[in-house]
């Protein structure tokens, strides 16, 4: 096994190939795309290899055969034919200002015009300039054009905090992308990719011949690495790393295919640093996402049990962002199951892996808590208390935490939401530690609020908001519904933990613990 250079941060196919980097061959997918259609759209989370795939398409259409030596498509492509390529790339820059997109687009179009020897027309709308460029390149080359768009949605996503700018950017892009349909006779192939899937009505209304392969099972691994890729391509990097730990930390993304995939960025950083860390998560989890989840009062316990239809998962616009679609498209949730309800398909969503589950709960917990700067200190304290089964200490830990929440927080929130809020705080504390946590665990007699498995012990939690201190309703439910029976086969100590919150004191009213 020969070790190669890890292509960390490389998004150009030429550089990856010429520097003899590791490369997972995705060109068989390109052959399939060419055989089956003409205009395509693909949505994948950030840092999933979209830009490298787009650049691979560019090199293919430009006929650079030497770069494809030994790859799946080499013998299935006519290298004597070269197609002009127009590649729009919105991955760099910021688009929060009212003129940012217009200026960036004008600069890219001017570059294309210079390359084509066409006089620049800054006074002409962008869509008309783009259409003129497609026609000119077709005439010059005698071959239809390949239109590639990378990070098509970034100008909108960047401006979500400034809705008026986001809408203006969306409308400008709508006219630009509609050009693809009007220029169909001059186009050989179109590939548009980004993080989010904006509805066709809002962004692609003029491009109704665009085929969306986002949830196409045959293309589920077009981006990302599979288990087989790790074992075959990266075999030289695996010694010294626990294979099951790699799966637990980083595998799990699903777009309805038979295989789940890894985020390439995570894997490359793992092989480079040899440490299990939230590499992908730390590259830019948007503050907008956290604010949205908290603003909509989404319980962290609910993130492992969301359900959405294919239409819902595709619903995304400046004024209509379903929580499920937002989390799925940005990669914080993935499809964990599929159900056919008489022809209506529903998808169960959940965390893809330990990295996302642990890191997102850590980030949300920091936003939920009164003093986020002390979160690391609290994590260590709770871990030690749980490892020692110091239940009195755990009670004091959470009492101190809730007591530190400013009074103003309570005056702005509905007491009816408290049970979900309190349960979310407990859940996020344990999930942020990377523990084995299950919420709403179904059994023959009902649904347990939360189960935690750690250090050879099982902890079963039931949460209640009560008006009278020490009502005992939570412990009674734990016993009456025999939640512990499901776990007895583990032959581990089982602890029933009944947590009751006072609607008057806004703190723990009871924290009772019994061995089952």
Question: For position 95, what pLDDT does the model report?
Answer: 95
Distance CA 391, CA 431 (A): 18
Query: pLDDT category, 343, cuts 50, 70, 90?
Result: confident
How confident is the prediction for the chain on average, in pLDDT?
A: 90
Tens-digit pLDDT profile for residues 87-124: 999 998 889 999 999 999 999 999 999 999 999 888 89
Name the residue among 422, 296, 304, 297 with its Cα closest to residue 360: 304
Domain assignment of residue 9, yes or no: no
Query: Averaged over 203-207, what is the pLDDT?
Result: 70
Tokens of 360: 């997102």
Looking at residue 420, its pLDDT comes to 77
Which residues have C-beta within 8 Å of that of residue 413, sequence separation ≥ 6?
A: 421
Q: Which helix (H) or strand (E) holds 454?
A: strand 446-454
The neighbour count for residue 295, using CB atoms within 10 Å, is 8
**Considering only CA atoms, which of 92, 88, 58 is closest in space to residue 192?**
88
Q: What share of the chain is helix, strand, coil (3-state, %, to 5)?
A: 45, 20, 35
User: Which two tokens mark 462?
Assistant: 């039931």
325, 381: one domain: no
DSSP summary character for residue 119 = P
CA distance 477 to 479: 5
Lowest mean pLDDT among 159-168, 292-301, 437-446: 437-446
Are 297 and 401 in a shared domain? no
Task: Return the pLDDT at 471.
Answer: 63
In a domain, 419, yes or no: yes
111 and 143 share a domain? Answer: yes
**Between the CA of residue 470 and those of 63, 400, 422, 431, 500, what are the distances in Å?**
76, 19, 17, 27, 8
Establish if 162 belongs to a structural domain.
yes
Residue 469 pLDDT more than 60?
A: no
Query: Tens digit of pLDDT for each residue in 220-247?
Result: 999 999 999 999 999 999 999 999 999 9
* pLDDT tens per residue, range 249-264: 999 999 999 999 999 9
Same domain assignment for residues 44 and 147: yes
Average pLDDT in the 477-491 region? 94
Count: domains in the chain: 3
Q: In this structure, are 68 and 200 located in the same domain?
A: yes
pLDDT in tens, 377-398: 889 999 999 999 999 999 999 9
Rounded mean pLDDT, 413-438: 81
Residues 6+ positions from 492 with CB-CB distance below 8 Å: 453, 456, 457, 458
Mean pLDDT within 459-481: 85
For 333, the domain range is 285-350
Strands 39-43 and 187-194 turn out to be: parallel
Q: Which two tokens stand for residue 140?
A: 């010059």
pLDDT at 416 over 50: no
* 41's tokens: 């759209």
Residues 391 and 495 in one domain: yes
Average pLDDT over residues 449-478: 88
* 160 — pLDDT class (breaks 50, 70, 90): confident
Give me the residues paired with residue 39 across strands: 190
Predicted confidence at residue 351, as pLDDT, reads 95
Share of the chain above pLDDT 90, in %: 69
User: Which of 201, 219, 237 represents a domain boundary (last residue)?
Assistant: 219
């Amino acid at each position: 096994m020969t070790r190669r250079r890890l292509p960390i941060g490389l998004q150009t196919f030429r550089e990856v190939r010429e520097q003899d980097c590791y490369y997972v061959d995705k060109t068989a997918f390109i052959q399939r795309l060419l055989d089956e259609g003409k205009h395509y759209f693909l949505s994948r989370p950030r840092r999933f290899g979209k830009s490298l795939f787009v650049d691979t398409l560019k090199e293919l259409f430009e006929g650079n055969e030497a770069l494809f030596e030994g790859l799946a498509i080499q013998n299935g492509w006519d290298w004597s034919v070269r197609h002009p390529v127009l590649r729009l790339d919105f991955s760099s820059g910021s688009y929060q200002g009212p003129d940012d997109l217009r200026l960036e687009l004008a600069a890219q179009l001017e570059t294309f015009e210079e390359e084509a020897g066409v006089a620049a027309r800054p006074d002409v709308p962008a869509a008309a300039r783009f259409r003129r460029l497609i026609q000119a390149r077709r005439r010059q080359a005698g071959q239809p054009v390949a239109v590639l768009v990378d990070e098509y949605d970034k100008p909108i996503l960047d401006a979500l905090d400034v809705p008026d700018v986001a809408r203006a950017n969306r409308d400008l892009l709508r006219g630009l992308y509609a050009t693809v349909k009007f220029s169909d006779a001059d186009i050989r192939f179109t590939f548009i990719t980004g993080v989010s899937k904006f509805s066709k009505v809002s962004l692609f209304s003029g491009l109704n011949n665009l085929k969306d392969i986002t949830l196409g099972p045959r293309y589920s691994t077009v981006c990302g690495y599979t288990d087989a890729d790790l074992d075959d391509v990266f075999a030289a990097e695996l010694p010294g790393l626990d294979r099951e730990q790699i799966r637990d930390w980083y595998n799990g993304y699903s777009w309805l295919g038979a295989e789940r995939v890894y985020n390439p960025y995570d894997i490359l950083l793992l092989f480079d640093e040899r440490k299990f860390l939230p590499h992908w998560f730390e590259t830019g989890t948007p503050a907008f996402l956290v604010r949205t989840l908290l603003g909509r009062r989404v319980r962290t316990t609910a993130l492992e049990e969301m359900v959405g239809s294919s239409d819902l998962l595709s619903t995304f616009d400046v004024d209509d962002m379903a929580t499920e679609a937002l989390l799925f498209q940005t990669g914080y949730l993935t499809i964990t199951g599929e159900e056919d309800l008489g022809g209506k398909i529903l998808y169960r969503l959940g965390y893809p892996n330990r990295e996302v589950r642990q890191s997102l709960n850590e980030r949300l917990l920091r936003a939920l808590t009164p003093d986020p700067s002390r979160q690391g200190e609290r994590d260590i304290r709770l871990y030690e208390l749980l490892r020692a089964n110091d239940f009195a200490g755990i009670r004091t830990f959470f009492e101190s935490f809730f007591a530190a929440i400013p009074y103003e927080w309570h005056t702005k929130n509905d007491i009816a939401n408290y049970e979900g809020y309190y349960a979310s705080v407990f859940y996020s504390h344990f999930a942020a530690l990377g523990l084995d946590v299950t919420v709403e665990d179904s059994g023959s007699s009902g649904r347990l609020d939360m189960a935690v498995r750690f250090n050879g012990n099982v902890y079963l939690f039931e949460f209640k908001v009560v008006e009278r201190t020490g009502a005992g309703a939570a412990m009674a439910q734990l016993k009456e519904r025999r939640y512990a029976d499901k776990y007895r086969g583990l032959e581990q100590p089982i602890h029933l933990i009944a947590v009751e919150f006072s609607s008057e004191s806004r703190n723990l009213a009871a924290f009772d613990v019994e061995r089952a």
